[in-house]
Homo-oligomer: A and B are copies of this chain.
């Protein structure tokens, strides 16, 4: 039953799964969503979902039309080591957002503020799956704290550049933004980040 190849294009089943997945993620949030639940909603076998998308993570990327696989991105950002990771991270994210493929991400930025479910998706996905894993790949402690701080600076910059369209941020190049905000991100991944009292972590599914 599953078609040959991993990108069967306009297959009915594939689109059917993605439609069910969007509703499932919106209803359950990223953490509580399961590949099995998505398959049940789409009325297909879980093996078919796994065949197309590999994992819950993969379904999410496809359902949200996120153009880059965070796993490969994190590898690319972390591979040269901790030196310069701040500038690399800012430059990379601005470049993604600026690209035509960045449109859904820029859209998510608006939705997140208006819509609790989008907020929950952003919270668990961005902070844990993206920046949290980057912190892990860099071998630093307290990945959730660092991930949140990095997300705060990048979301704030994106807000200025794409939503408020404030100059010079709207027209600055990715390199310029990296030179301004890169050291901030670098410090958030650094050894001298102050300790704060521990709080309940984000719930894990």
Chain A interface residues (CB < 8 Å from chain B):
109-110, 112-114, 119, 122-123, 127, 144-145, 148-149, 151-157, 159-160, 163-172, 176, 179-181, 183-184, 187, 193-194, 196-202
Contact = CB atoms under 8 A, between A and B. Distances in A.
A160 B148 contact: yes
Given A153-B153, A154-B156, A156-B153, A167 B197 contact: no
A168 B113 contact: no
Contact of A110 (B113, B123, B164, B179): B113
Give the secondary structure class of A's interface.
helix
Given A179-B194, A184-B184, A202 B156 contact: no
A160 B202 CA distance: 12
Nearest to A155: B156
A131 to B, nearest CB: 11
A176 B164 contact: no
Nearest to A170: B199
Contacts of A199: 167-168, 170-172
Contacts of A123: 164-166
Contact of A119 (B145, B152, B163, B200): B163
A166 B202 contact: yes
Contacts of A156: 151-157, 159
Instruction: Name the residue among A164, A169, A180, A200 with the largest chain B CB count within 10 angstroms.
Output: A164
A201 B167 contact: yes
Contacts of A193: 180
A33 B112 CA distance: 30
8 contacts: A144-B168, A151-B166, A155-B156, A155-B159, A156-B156, A176-B197, A179-B194, A179-B196
A164 B123 CA distance: 6
Given A180-B193, A194-B180, A159 B152 contact: yes
A135 to B, nearest CB: 14
